[in-house]
Structure 1
Amino acid sequence: MSVDGSGVWISRFDDGELRKRAAGVDPGLPLAGLTFAVKDNIDVAGLPTTAACPDFAYQPERSAAVVTRLENAGAIAVGKTNLDQFATGLTGARSPYGSPESVFGGGLISGGSSSGSAVAVANGSVDFALGTDTAGSGRVPAALNGIYGIKPTRGLLSTLGVVPACRSLDCVSIFARDLSTARRVMRVARGPERDDPWSREGRRQGKRGRPRIGVPESIEADAGQEKAFARFAGDTTVDISPLLEAGDLLYRGPWVAERLADLGDFLASNPDAFLPITREVLKTGLGYTAADAFRAQHRLQELRAAADRMWEHIDVLVLPTIGTTFTHDEIAEDPIGHNLTLGRYTQFANLLDLAAVTVPNGFTEDGRPASITLFGPAFSDDTLMELALSLPREDVMTLAVVGLHLRGEPRNDELLDRGGRLLRTTRTAPCYRLYQLPSGAPGLVRDKGGASIEVELWQLPASKVGGFLAGIPAPLALGRLELEDGAQVTGFLCEAYAANGAPDITASGGWRNHRLKGSHS
């Protein structure tokens, strides 16, 4: 299993090593003070590279070129994150190191293959993370965890030191909770590497007026995702059928065989090292001939020409990142079919040499995360990020909740119904006591002799905070809470008078633990 049992991390540097590295960072560097996670198919010196296959693991002599660039700019690599084995899949459920859940819970998949990297960013463990993206692995997990995902133009970030999936299509991707951080990382990470034959120098696009935005004539999506996507209006509609046909070539065509170009020998000599689902997908590549590969290349060239004509009329194409969401149980029922569904609006990008930026788009009415992706032709990366920054977004407020508003508790719907988004579970500083009030709800009181109490951090649209607070009865009120890392957040506190004579349940460490103990007593 992963190092912390969450399915997020495969390996990490210890605290002493991280403190040593932090102490040596020049505060004047562009990424000084930022921490990052690295998908475990990207080399980091000092940690093994496993690609989520223990028998494949090796100790790299040096870090991948993109990791070195980031560290030289002051960023600190924390550790290696979980992935769908050999970056084959979009679900986050294909790893012997566990299957992380989306930060929104409810059994929702995290998305893959860059599962751990996305969750580590979304839950606040690191400031940003590196993933890879061949078929959508830098975008699907971003959508399912409510964060930004940058899939650069192929070759703009070097893949030197990355375990190949499809070498001709692979990209290193960037995850961040805010786009300004992603842009800072992108500026440092981009650029050609002399020893990387796949790297390219980015062509700066000339400035022009407002980009012309296209949206599809129709989409295939569940009702919630379709309604969420309808919030975004384009300037014109376009036929995306050539893009979708190109995407079908990736897993239903000979590009599956390209995965065997690098993994074929290891698969032949170590078949039991692979998960059954990974082995099944890779072995489909054995069924294609060289003639099949050329036929597919010829058809892809025709589809590229059709896509190029699209850019004569628009500058940016906007699509839903995913057409639906799945739970882990649903994925288990049809792992291959549902994987294809997740990739419908992502798989074509690298085949057609497009850049892409994935942007959170709120939630569906049933509380599932929604997302859009902005696409442009090669080297339109800066245009896409500038447009993403200009999209209207509502001010948000972060609230710490301790009791009945926790995920799964009776009043959690009051957050979800107002567009609330779970950021992460954490703990207070050790200076609080928790009481069970006469109403049955818990009350958190600051006390120097107290302990650390579990809380959840939720993000709520600022315009919805007033209506939410109107339903909170005395003696509860908002105040400033101190977290275990020293951060100050707004959260629920109880007026001290109400705790007089109330049962002290501090020893449980939190309301959820108290409830669980009560159910087993």
Structure 2
Amino acid sequence: MPDLPLNLASLRAAYAAGVSPAEVVAAVYRRIEALGDPGIFIHLRPEAELLAEAAALPPFQAAGGLPLWGVPFAIKDNIDLAGAPTTAACPAYAYEPAADAFCVARLRRAGALAIGKTNLDQFATGLVGVRSPFPPPLNALDPAMAPGGSSSGSAVAVAQGLVTFALGTDTAGSGRVPAALNNIVGLKPSLGLISNGGVVPACRSLDTVSLFALTVEDAWRALAVAAGYDPADPWSRRLPLRGPAAPAGRFRVGVPAPASRRFFGDAVQAGSFAAGLERIAALGGELVELDFEPFYEVAALLYDGPWVAERYTVVEPLLQSDPEALHPVTRQVIAKAEGFSAADTFRASYRLAGLKRRIEPLLDGLDLLCVPTIPGFCSLAELAADPIGPNSRLGTYTNFVNLLDLCGIAVPIAPRADGRPGSLTLLARAGRDHLAAGLAARLHAEAGVTAGVTGGATGWPLSPAEPPAAVAAEDEIALAVVGAHMTGLPLNGDLTRLGARFLSRTRTAPCYRLYALPGGPPFKPGLVRSEQGGAIEIEVWALPESAFGAFMRTVPQPLGIGTLSLEDGSQVKGFLCEPVAVEGARDITGFGGWRAYLAEAASPAAAAP
């Protein structure tokens, strides 16, 4: 247990081998104690409380409906967790939420175990991770470097192997900059894909909850659960969440032209970015060089324009009643809002509209954008000398993203020439999160780099060798089909017409028998559970929950929908047959699946007298 990696694949394998969630929880608390970094968590839930919650989970074999069963995660302390104070790293602001944030509730209902609340730049204002009255967390790879912010504790908790994933927030880059500085994945979804219900605002119109993980697959699986429309959140949007998929064949990626790349004298970082672009090209990407000046002009609006007034609306009562309660740098940044007028706000919105119009033709015909996640590293000594300048530089390639309604993911690539971690960010238009994640997974796998810490609390080499598997969102039902509803077969249209999407091709656990039912066309099989059975090929589709009733009306007797066990130990809903209906039917279990049986039935040998 001490060396168990906490990525999802390793956790699932451990649970399938008999490890319990309570044992994982106990190991997490021992790791936290051994690490001895008091700056990661602002609030850590009592271990006994977590052990009781873990023990209350259903048995692993019955947890197919809980995609994050027994998965430990952490929550940035500007996101509500019932039973724990929300401080936004400002004790004078703290309150006790009556309920979990919308996304936290979804994750916990899926079986995830919330370990505690993590440190941050106060009121999520900063990209450095040290603007907090609590001790700042140490950068997981080099304690002399800034941990990155504002989601500093969340990133470090993942990088140190304390949790499987962690929630952050991202307005100006807080979900991407700490990922780069700690050698992990940082996924910033499209605005509105995850509800901001129960999240302390930074800039309410630009905020999103983000996710940190060791691999793209883990981040995506957490996103698939956390995402969902929230009618109580006016910024929530109904956006598609397809399975991650890199662009097919040749694809076009916009990149800053060499003349408009900004590295502030860090030639090693410039070389790392160039090497990353070479890997994209090797994977089939056509690199399209862009003048990035309009993107930088958009970025400047975030802190140099009246958008800082959105932050002011959150802390205005505290600024007026107890200004010393704010971190001095946070107070300095947010107090700038007092110098802007309503007229300034309109002028800035007109400026942004004009810049968007200049940028639109640059994006036409592109599948993705690729930028450095950060222009270089930032030391604690630099921040002590200048708390503002290094922070501003860290946002060079992040500050414009939400203002332009883009989604993005920061992903580790090969280390820089000096051994520091490399990181690229892939960006896409809103609703195209799957394209950015798909290519990020390929880049991470191709790089073959370790994730998080090398030689830290766990010391495991973790290479994300597989692309992220598509999973059903919470408002979808994962449905296993075994016969005529599979891809290319006669009844597949019954699924696709209702908006179902393909997830995976896999097999059942070895406890089913397959029979060729009489009747047809279309010809259909019947799947019956049997302890003397075999593993049967199936396809898993994600069917919108709202369409399930309509689909059921197309399912005739003796078929029905029950719960199927899969070869990886998970369970999904799927087609089963009444045992009485297979009496006298041909047992085709030996073919291993319906397709193999159809191929044999169509062969010349089968047709011969």
TM-score in terms of structure 2 length: 0.65
Q: Matches of 1:140 and 1:8 in 2, distance apart? A: 16
Structure 1 residue 283, shift from structure 2 partner = 0.5
Say whether the 8 Å CA contact 1:123–1:423 is kept in structure 2.
no
- In structure 2, relative to structure 1, the CA distance for the partners of 1:205 and 1:37 (3 Å cut) is closer
Look at both structures and tell me which one has the larger radius of gyration over its CA atoms. 2
User: Which of the numbers 269, 274, 293 marks the counterpart of 1:225?
Assistant: 269
Question: What residue is the counterpart of 1:365 in the other structure?
Answer: 417
Letter of the 1:253 counterpart? G
Equivalence map 1:189-204=2 (5 Å):
189-203=226-240
Q: Is 1:78 aligned to residue 78 of structure 2? A: no
- In structure 2, relative to structure 1, the CA distance for the partners of 1:353 and 1:460 (3 Å cut) is closer
Say whether the 8 Å CA contact 2:412–2:449 is kept in structure 1.
no
What do residues 388-440 of structure 1 show as CA deviations (whole Å, max 9, x unaligned)? 12226357597xxxxxxxxxxxxxxxxxxxxx9733534xxxxxxxxxxxxxx
Q: Is 1:20 aligned to residue 52 of structure 2? A: yes
SS in structure 1 at match of 2:456 = strand
Question: What residue is the counterpart of 1:457 in the other structure?
Answer: 459
Question: What residue is the counterpart of 1:297 in the other structure?
Answer: 349
Structure 1 residue 241, shift from structure 2 partner = 1.4
Say whether the 8 Å CA contact 2:159–2:453 is kept in structure 1.
no
Q: Matches of 2:452 and 2:171 in 1, distance apart? A: 28
SS in structure 1 at match of 2:414 = strand
Say whether the 8 Å CA contact 2:411–2:444 is kept in structure 1.
no
SS in structure 1 at match of 2:319 = helix
Q: Matches of 1:395 and 1:348 in 2, distance apart? A: 27
- In structure 2, relative to structure 1, the CA distance for the partners of 1:388 and 1:272 (3 Å cut) is same
Question: What residue is the counterpart of 1:135 in the other structure?
Answer: 172
Question: What residue is the counterpart of 1:444 in the other structure?
Answer: none
Say whether the 8 Å CA contact 1:88–1:165 is kept in structure 2.
yes
- The sequence identity of aligned pairs, in percent, is 48
Question: What residue is the counterpart of 2:192 in the other structure?
Answer: 155
- In structure 2, relative to structure 1, the CA distance for the partners of 1:36 and 1:458 (3 Å cut) is closer
Question: What residue is the counterpart of 1:47 in the other structure?
Answer: 84
Question: What residue is the counterpart of 1:442 in the other structure?
Answer: none
Q: Matches of 1:190 and 1:383 in 2, distance apart? A: 17
Letter of the 1:18 counterpart? L
Q: Matches of 1:156 and 1:303 in 2, distance apart? A: 25
Say whether the 8 Å CA contact 2:182–2:452 is kept in structure 1.
no
Structure 1 residue 299, shift from structure 2 partner = 0.8
Question: What residue is the counterpart of 1:209 in the other structure?
Answer: 248
Structure 1 residue 263, shift from structure 2 partner = 1.5
Q: Matches of 1:61 and 1:397 in 2, distance apart? A: 42
Say whether the 8 Å CA contact 1:224–1:365 is kept in structure 2.
yes
Structure 1 residue 37, shift from structure 2 partner = 0.3
Question: What residue is the counterpart of 1:7 in the other structure?
Answer: 39
Say whether the 8 Å CA contact 2:413–2:447 is kept in structure 1.
no
- 310-319 or 321-330, which moves further after superposition? 310-319
Question: What residue is the counterpart of 1:422 in the other structure?
Answer: 453
Structure 1 residue 249, shift from structure 2 partner = 0.3
Aligned length: 411
Say whether the 8 Å CA contact 1:40–1:82 is kept in structure 2.
yes
Q: Matches of 1:378 and 1:136 in 2, distance apart? A: 16
Root-mean-square deviation over aligned CA pairs: 2.2
Question: What residue is the counterpart of 2:518 in the other structure?
Answer: none
Say whether the 8 Å CA contact 2:413–2:449 is kept in structure 1.
no
Q: Matches of 1:167 and 1:302 in 2, distance apart? A: 22
Question: What residue is the counterpart of 1:260 in the other structure?
Answer: 312
Letter of the 1:216 counterpart? P
Letter of the 2:111 counterpart? G
User: Which of the numbers 329, 339, 342 marks the counterpart of 2:381?
Assistant: 329
Question: What residue is the counterpart of 2:140 in the other structure?
Answer: 103
- In structure 2, relative to structure 1, the CA distance for the partners of 1:160 and 1:392 (3 Å cut) is closer
What do residues 484-510 of structure 1 show as CA deviations (whole Å, max 9, x unaligned)? xxxxxxxxxxxxxxxxxxxxxxxxxxx
- In structure 2, relative to structure 1, the CA distance for the partners of 1:395 and 1:112 (3 Å cut) is closer
Equivalence map 1:175-190=2 (5 Å):
175-190=212-227
SS in structure 2 at match of 1:393 = helix
SS in structure 1 at match of 2:454 = strand
Structure 1 residue 313, shift from structure 2 partner = 2.7
Question: What residue is the counterpart of 1:344 in the other structure?
Answer: 396
Question: What residue is the counterpart of 2:440 in the other structure?
Answer: 388
What do residues 331-368 of structure 1 show as CA deviations (whole Å, max 9, x unaligned)? 11111111110000000011110000110123222222
Say whether the 8 Å CA contact 2:445–2:463 is kept in structure 1.
no
Q: Matches of 1:36 and 1:424 in 2, distance apart? A: 21
What do residues 213-241 of structure 1 show as CA deviations (whole Å, max 9, x unaligned)? 12110211111111111112352211221
Letter of the 1:214 counterpart? G
Q: Matches of 2:319 and 2:151 in 1, distance apart? A: 22
- 96-105 or 64-73, which moves further after superposition? 96-105
Structure 1 residue 118, shift from structure 2 partner = 0.2
Q: Matches of 1:260 and 1:392 in 2, distance apart? A: 39
Structure 1 residue 153, shift from structure 2 partner = 0.6
User: Which of the numbers 406, 422, 429 marks the counterpart of 1:377?
Assistant: 429
Q: Matches of 2:138 and 2:292 in 1, distance apart? A: 32
Say whether the 8 Å CA contact 2:80–2:198 is kept in structure 1.
yes
- In structure 2, relative to structure 1, the CA distance for the partners of 1:79 and 1:460 (3 Å cut) is closer
Letter of the 2:39 counterpart? G
Structure 1 residue 242, shift from structure 2 partner = 1.3
Say whether the 8 Å CA contact 1:421–1:459 is kept in structure 2.
no
Q: Matches of 2:354 and 2:262 in 1, distance apart? A: 24
Say whether the 8 Å CA contact 1:124–1:423 is kept in structure 2.
no
User: Which of the numbers 303, 310, 321 marks the counterpart of 1:269?
Assistant: 321
SS in structure 2 at match of 1:457 = coil
Say whether the 8 Å CA contact 2:412–2:444 is kept in structure 1.
no
Question: What residue is the counterpart of 1:437 in the other structure?
Answer: none
- In structure 2, relative to structure 1, the CA distance for the partners of 1:392 and 1:180 (3 Å cut) is closer
- 4-13 or 15-24, which moves further after superposition? 4-13
Letter of the 1:25 counterpart? L
Q: Matches of 2:171 and 2:100 in 1, distance apart? A: 21
SS in structure 2 at match of 1:357 = strand
Say whether the 8 Å CA contact 2:171–2:207 is kept in structure 1.
yes
Structure 1 residue 156, shift from structure 2 partner = 0.5
Q: Matches of 1:45 and 1:201 in 2, distance apart? A: 26
- 5-14 or 389-398, which moves further after superposition? 389-398
- In structure 2, relative to structure 1, the CA distance for the partners of 1:425 and 1:392 (3 Å cut) is closer
Question: What residue is the counterpart of 1:113 in the other structure?
Answer: 150
- In structure 2, relative to structure 1, the CA distance for the partners of 1:246 and 1:292 (3 Å cut) is same
What do residues 260-309 of structure 1 show as CA deviations (whole Å, max 9, x unaligned)? 12221221111010011111111111100111100100010111222222
Q: Matches of 1:314 and 1:19 in 2, distance apart? A: 49
Say whether the 8 Å CA contact 2:37–2:137 is kept in structure 1.
no
Structure 1 residue 12, shift from structure 2 partner = 1.1
Say whether the 8 Å CA contact 2:74–2:166 is kept in structure 1.
yes
